[in-house]
Amino acid sequence: MIPRFSLARPTTLSEAFESHLAAGGDAAYLAGGTELLQVMKMGFAQFGVLIDLKGIEELGGLEVAPDGRLRIGAATTHRTLERSALVRERLPALAALEARVANVRVRNTGTIGGNLAFAEPHSDPATFLLVCGATVELSGPNGRRELTIGEFVLGPLFTAREPDEIVVAIHVPATGPSSGRAYDKIAFFERPAASVGVAFTVADGAIREATVAVGSLTEVPTIVAAAGTAFEGSEAAEAALDGPSGAAADAFGALDVVADLNGSPDYKRHLAGVLLGRAARTALREALAHA
């Protein structure tokens, strides 16, 4: 049972900050609530005031900014991202990822900003957004700032967000004409047991730039630099990926993988290696299609 609380419904960021200040530290921001309300129901957290952010217009919307980045309002639901024509055109891997988040109830209610702010280590978006070079825009009483995903997610259920700050938007850089991005996972209990994100840029018939990130293995989504390096210089043909994929997967051996209910470190590394091959092929197909 959730303890009693008061609900504030601001329509601007300034009103939200005022509500937070007035609560004297006994408040939490609420978007979809799929994680926060569950935590409160289990008795792991309690707040006298919940500040509902869904009425703040600035936190919504999907658009291509003048600098070419895809701006995703923090209050955008997973279901909206899954079904958005703009996301499917500009970032199809994100739409595909969102279609597999948890279940329909969670996708209809949960938001991208809330997901990142909660920093659940077995989650989807942060790993993919990390490999995309995305940033998180924060706003608070003292101003605004942008952090990379690596700077924002500091540990399990722990981020760089100050208690009175609000995640406003996520910004995803545009890709060049010969680039591809992909994400794949193996999930148990509606959460990923292991996940891999890949980004490739192809030029002159070869993979020139490669980034690989893993999720649900380590305590935070992690870029594995050696795995990306293993792909660079490879011929841009799917048949040529078998060797590089194996070498890249070997780089996972250096990761400090956390054992949990999903399996041992070695088992989770194995899962990540399988996923790497799948994601690499998908990213390469996209890059070649746009060459």
| CATH code at position 242 | 3.30.390.50
Is 263 part of any domain?
Answer: yes
The whole-number average pLDDT for the span 263-282 is 96
Q: Which two tokens stand for residue 24?
A: 């004297």
Q: Which domain range does residue 119 map to?
A: 57-172
Nearest alpha carbon to residue 77 among 96, 92, 98, 57 = 98
The total domain count for the chain is: 3
Please identify, among 19, 37, 52, the residue that sits at the C-terminal boundary of a domain.
52
Please say if the pLDDT value at position 147 is more than 90. yes
Task: Say if residue 48's pLDDT is above 90.
Answer: yes
Do residue 281 and residue 195 come from a single domain? yes
Q: Is the pLDDT of residue 244 over 70?
A: yes
Both structure tokens of 72: 């995703």
**Residue 86 pLDDT > 80:** yes
47, two tokens: 């707040």
Higher local confidence (pLDDT), 244 or 274: 274
Show which of 139, 172, 205 is a domain's final residue: 172
pLDDT for 241 equals 84
Q: Identify the CA nearest to 163 among candidates 52, 21, 12, 45.
A: 21
- Do 226 and 278 share a structural domain? yes
Which pLDDT band, with edges at 50, 70 and 90, does 41 fall under?
confident
Judgement on whether residues 18 and 66 belong to the same structural domain of the protein: no
Q: Residue 73 region, left (φ>0) first, then alpha (ψ -120 to 50), else beta? A: beta
Closest CA to 288 of 239, 225, 224, 247: 239
Mean pLDDT of the chain: 95
- Flag whether 1 is in a domain: no
* Over residues 164-189, mean pLDDT: 95
pLDDT at 239: 61
Residues 62 and 165 in one domain: yes
280 shares a domain with 184: yes
User: Is 184 among the domain residues?
Assistant: yes
Looking at residue 38, its pLDDT comes to 87
Q: What is the mean pLDDT of residues 174-200?
A: 94
